[in-house]
Structure 1
């Protein structure tokens, strides 16, 4: 039972979902008026590019025997998916969420891009940072930043995210997917770019 629960955590809080969650969280908390058609268009575009397209590319890579499993267990398996994700994130920054439209989300995805490039660089030198922790900690820092920026109380969300981060780390350790060092470094790879970029939009 415990094994199934910890395994399910890795799927429920999959890294592919975190950028979309950040966009949903922003639109649910921003006090700014944004027309509903624009919100729907942005959510649709981000869903296609951050969830649907990567899933399709994964199945293509699996068909071509470039990856063995969705967990990307080796650093060699990680390189091509991470590179493709870098390209997708860059496309989102340029075409979907440019700086002059929604600067908060623009810098959120700049942070995602920096974190992904860092993870890719580490994979090249054979170090496997936790992508789960990168994605979750990046979202966590962005949520805290929005609370400061818009002066809103999200203590409940922050407490929940702390629990989720702990659950993700426990899950990855239990499944022997990562060492504590890989989880620790992954946490900071996701958090630090978001923290540094606060200077540009808060």
Structure 2
């Protein structure tokens, strides 16, 4: 989801950012948010820290969420520092806050929906970008709303979460992005 948010930002931002910089940011984010987590999952599975990709218990989620927080922290200070693209910096600060909150809940034996955290965080970022740049992205927002509903429905259908876990996941994704809008909007 972070890669979707960044790609959308570069596609819709009216600011001039040189193409080589955009490409470098997207490639580095692809490596850090897609490839590295996949490799870390296989490592965790090999050493017996996770049983399945579904991370069914809160205990199984602790180490992957901690690694996600470390990766997000690395992105904030190496790929998207606050001195470059402020909107994306605060987008990733929101992702870090959501990940930390989910980690704390996992330590407390509560399993919030990480899927809902991701999709609702990106949705709120899109809303904020629409306001910030005064662009009409109603179609994109409607599609994101449908995707949020589809994700929630699929998680319920698969019995991976209950309604409470989905709602808390949704708020964990929305609220940090909404609060951080005050710093860049």
Compute the TM-score of the two structures, normalised by the length of structure 2: 1.00
CA distance in 1, matches of 2:54, 2:92: 23
2:83 to 100, 103, 106: 100
Is 1:124 aligned to 2:107, yes or no? yes
Structure 2 unaligned spans of 5+: none
CA-based RMSD = 0.3
1:196 is matched with 179
| Alignment map for 1:1-202 (pairs within 5 Å) | 18-202=1-185
Q: Give the count of matched residue pairs.
A: 185
Find the residue that maps to 1:119 and give its secondary structure: helix
Structure 1 unaligned spans of 5+: 1-17
- Cα deviation for residue 122 of structure 1 reads 0.1
- Cα deviation for residue 109 of structure 1 reads 0.1
Compute the TM-score of the two structures, normalised by the length of structure 1: 0.91
Report Cα offsets for 1:47-75 as digits up to 9, x if no partner.
00011000000000001110011111100
